[in-house]
Structure 1
Amino acid sequence: MTQDQPHTSPEIVETFFTRASGDYAFSRWGRPIAPVCFGVEDATLQIVKGAIEACVAIAGHEIAETDPELGSNLMVFFFSEWDELRDVPRLGDMIPDLDAKVTTLKARDAHQYRAFRFDDDGAIKACFTFVRMSEAMQEVPADVIALSQAVQAMLLWSDTAFSQDSPLAVASEGTVVRPDVANLLRAAYDPILPVAARDASHALRLYARLIAAQ
């Protein structure tokens, strides 16, 4: 992680939401975020909630105690092994083909996975975040893990967006959201823009707002 802000162009903005398949897919939350966290102690719980609140504040979005439809709509799970997910009550109702997904994640030795649900307008209405605390992950500070997961739950980013580079940076005050990512979050939640888009021309509108904010 560094605090350098790379040059931004419409093409760079587009890559943040262009999936490995080549499809452009953008979506943001269309309702206040009501988070809940499982598998951590109270001290860590506060770190996770603080990270989510920080990202919501950057985006200019809203956070709530409960969601009227779902109760909690951002669920964050911490665990040691993927197999543990098979024992979580009703999780199979929320994650289709849970057994097959667990098998795939084990085969990839994955450390994280997110599943989104969308409303009729294409906006995010729920996000399920799973973090496997392997030995390697246990060496990472809790605030870094929490902030990274919070950023990635705020938008439907490309599945390759942060595969090489962290969304975080190191600043004088500690670990923060990378400046270019924070600016993109703000632009993405501009109320003038649609809550969801499947055409790459949307990236030009995001870029225009980034430039206007400078």
Structure 2
Amino acid sequence: MADLISHEGVEALFTRADGTYLFARWGRPLVPVVFGTDDRTLEIVKGAVEAVVLMAGHSMAETDPELGVNLMFFFFRDWDELTEVPDLDRMVPDLGPLVERLKAAGANQYRIFRFDESGAIKASFVFLRMDGELSKVPADTLALAQVVQTIVLWSDTAFVGRSPLAQAPEGKVILRPDIGAVIRASYDPVMPVVAQDPSHALRLAARVKQV
């Protein structure tokens, strides 16, 4: 994996648009739930979660002792539908203003993270407005892309202009090998759960070469 991504490439994945470096991974097992879709898509999403978690060397559980579930996927047609979900406004502060901003921006997806006292990820909400564009994306591709983007806290610019996925020679959509290597290295037990110093990227790049 040594030639797949440089130290600078790793650093860019976790350097935000404002220039700050921030990395975080899950500090607890993932407990996913899917709303607003059929059984087939539900199984595809959960399968994608299982595959990425297994690749990362992390874990899943039947329930989160604090939250019950901690990785929530919402599929819907209109942003206003979110304001009708019972108790969602309690889990997502300022839900109403957020929905208005997303509508104004014409967004079709949005991810929110919640963190524990140490700064590790403890929950994530994935919102997918199934407009004409997203509806054309195969369910397995959409699911994999979303799970990959929630398994660690990437920079807000990490995948602008380039997807974390790639097309294999036989036509199947897969996780880019360099991104997979970064995820596996991120969950190495010797690596910190949270990092705000760019020197973390050097350590991470060194681990990438070994996975």
- For the aligned pair, the TM-score class normalised by the smaller chain equals over 0.9
Correspondence 1:97 to 2:94:
yes
- Alpha-carbon deviation of 1:8? 1.4
1:109-188 paired onto structure 2 within 5 Å: 109-171=106-168, 172=170, 174-188=172-186
1:1-214 paired onto structure 2 within 5 Å: 7-171=4-168, 172=170, 174-213=172-211
Name the CA distance, whole Å, in 2 between partners of 1:170 and 1:6.
19
Name the CA distance, whole Å, in 2 between partners of 1:79 and 1:162.
23
- Alpha-carbon deviation of 1:161? 0.8
Identity %: 58
Structure 2 segments unaligned to the other structure (5+ residues):
none
Asked if the contact 2:145/2:165 (under 8 Å) is kept, the reply is yes
Name the CA distance, whole Å, in 1 between partners of 2:17 and 2:105.
17
- Alpha-carbon deviation of 1:108? 1.1
- Alpha-carbon deviation of 1:173? 7.1
Q: What secondary structure is seen at the aligned counterpart in 1 of 2:190? A: coil
- Cα deviation code 1:88-129 (max 9, x no counterpart): 111111111111111111111111111111111111000011
TM-score with structure 1 setting the length: 0.94
Q: What secondary structure is seen at the aligned counterpart in 1 of 2:210? A: helix
Deviant stretches of 4+, over 3 Å? none
TM-score with structure 2 setting the length: 0.96
- Alignment RMSD (CA, Å): 1.3
